[in-house]
Amino acid sequence: MSFFKRLKDKFANPDKEQQLKQDLQQDAVEHQEPERTQHAAPGETVHQDNDLTSVEDEFDDGLMSIEEFEELESQKIGAKFREGLEKSRENFQNQLNNLLAHYRKVDEDFFEALEEMLIQADVGFNTVMELVDELRMEAKRRNITETEDLREAIVEKIVEIYQQDDDKSEEMNIEDGRLNVILMVGVNGVGKTTTIGKLAHRYQAQGKKVMLAAGDTFRAGAIEQLEVWGQRVGVDVIRQGEGSDPAAVMYDAINAAKNKGVDILICDTAGRLQNKQNLMNELEKVKRVISRSVPDAPHEVLLALDATTGQNALAQAKAFKEVTDVTGIVLTKLDGTAKGGIVLAIRNELHIPVKYVGLGEKLDDLQPFNAESYVYGLFADMIEQNVPEAEENQPENEG
């Protein structure tokens, strides 16, 4: 099975999607549960034919298998990334299509033009050089002479480049049976507080008990902004006054979290990067206070970066990496940029995994990052249009 065919089957298979929906409807009738869709509480999702957003109830009630549930979840994720990466997708696909139309033969002129295109998309110089060198070797190995025949290889190599550093997991280090502490860092204005609120909402929806710590005592209004998010998602916020010691806030928050049986404590921090030494001292003090009370904590140090700032985001990531151990990136506002290549630069040049991406303004638009979901979002139209008809009709267990 080709790479494009596999991605299309995983994220955009309308035939499977429709068949699964019909099976669910039939099972609901057989189990005499059609009234479920008629008594939705205010704000609750009502099941409709075109709705892919709520399948958990059917799974919980045994109306679908785990395989069916996972297939529909993939469809949901694919739709999220496709919608959120619309600007980047239009930019990437248009430029790549124009490039392939202009350069018909695989030669050095084509590779140089491809390098320029990818650099302009914020992929990062070192990553671009590695990617294009890989494509040169692939073209030679497979004796590819027409640029159109490299279309799929370009997309596949992007995934391979991202996934080559396998020891850096995209999974969050969250475990049951302990107090998990997440430290959020990042400069002011990148969406750090909003990310904390959305993360709290996400974990609450998974049945976790969440608490927030207002550790940004420096920026005016930061504490109040976090409290608004706490009220919005329904979680406690531990705070002190503006200008107080952030480490003291963390101490209070950890004690409160332990007393209340909290599963996840998410800690805000100041976003000052102008004076690295002061920020480093502050973060080290905060981490010492946390680790004394909770062994091996903080379990995650997440750096929030604004995707719309492009190479400036990469510079911020380098600076914060010098200040503290960053375990993962939250790339905010990815839906607002036409240059989504920054994801690759961060991973490949800094060896820090992107763990979440912001794909919109809604609470559930903060999504766990996955390389294949990302590539599908960037190249969805191209992927769906370039699966050969013969392969489209081929059974899945073949090829």
As a whole number of angstroms, the distance between CA 125 and CA 144 comes to 25
Known binding residue 269? Answer is yes
At 256 the pLDDT is 98
What is the pLDDT averaged over residues 162-167? 68
pLDDT digits (tens, 9 = 90+) for 329-375: 999 999 998 888 888 888 888 889 999 999 999 998 999 998 888 88
> Which of 273-277, 319-323, 365-369, 380-384 ranks highest by mean pLDDT?
365-369
Amino acid at 205: A
Strands 328-332 and 300-306: parallel
Known binding residue 255? Answer is no
Report CA-CA distances (Å) from 269 to 110, 188, 283.
46, 10, 8
Question: Is pLDDT above 50 for 49?
Answer: no
The reported pTM is: 0.81
If one looks up domain 180-369 in CATH, what number appears? 3.40.50.300
Name the pLDDT band for 81 (thresholds 50, 70, 90).
confident
At 390 the pLDDT is 45
Mean pLDDT lowest among 123-127, 165-169, 253-257? 165-169
At 310 the pLDDT is 84
Known binding residue 188? Answer is yes
As a whole number of angstroms, the distance between CA 48 and CA 78 comes to 19
Known binding residue 393? Answer is no
Known binding residue 270? Answer is yes
Please state the domain extents for the chain: 3-34+55-84, 86-167+380-386, 180-369
Known binding residue 124? Answer is no
Q: What percent of the chain has pLDDT over 70?
A: 80
At 381 the pLDDT is 83
> What is the length of the chain?
399
Known binding residue 186? Answer is yes
Question: Is pLDDT above 60 for 230?
Answer: yes
Question: Is pLDDT above 50 for 40?
Answer: no
Known binding residue 189? Answer is yes
Phi, psi of 352 (to 5 degrees): -115, 125
Phi, psi of 298 (to 5 degrees): -70, 145
Mean pLDDT lowest among 66-75, 195-204, 228-237, 249-258? 66-75
Known binding residue 190? Answer is yes
Question: Is pLDDT above 50 for 37?
Answer: no
Name the pLDDT band for 122 (thresholds 50, 70, 90).
confident
CATH architecture of 86-167+380-386: Up-down Bundle (1.20)
As a whole number of angstroms, the distance between CA 282 and CA 244 comes to 12
At 72 the pLDDT is 75
**358 has which bridge partners?**
366
Known binding residue 332? Answer is yes
CB proximity list for 11: less than 8 A, separation 6 or greater: 74, 75, 77, 78, 79, 81, 82, 372, 373, 376, 380
Helix residue spans in 234-266 (DSSP H): 246-259
As a whole number of angstroms, the distance between CA 19 and CA 83 comes to 23
Contact 383, 7 (CB under 8 A): yes
Which residue in this structure is represented by tokens 């073209």?
139
Q: Average per-residue pLDDT in the chain? A: 83
Report CA-CA distances (Å) from 178 to 184, 193, 249, 290, 294.
19, 24, 20, 14, 9
Q: What percent of the chain has pLDDT over 90?
A: 47
Known binding residue 310? Answer is no
Known binding residue 318? Answer is no
Known binding residue 217? Answer is no
Run of H or E including 128: helix 125-141
At 159 the pLDDT is 85
Contact 317, 341 (CB under 8 A): no
Mean pLDDT lowest among 44-58, 85-99, 102-116? 44-58
Amino acid at 211: M
Name the pLDDT band for 167 (thresholds 50, 70, 90).
low
At 10 the pLDDT is 77
Q: 3-state class of 329 per DSSP?
A: strand
Mean pLDDT lowest among 116-120, 229-233, 236-240, 395-399? 395-399
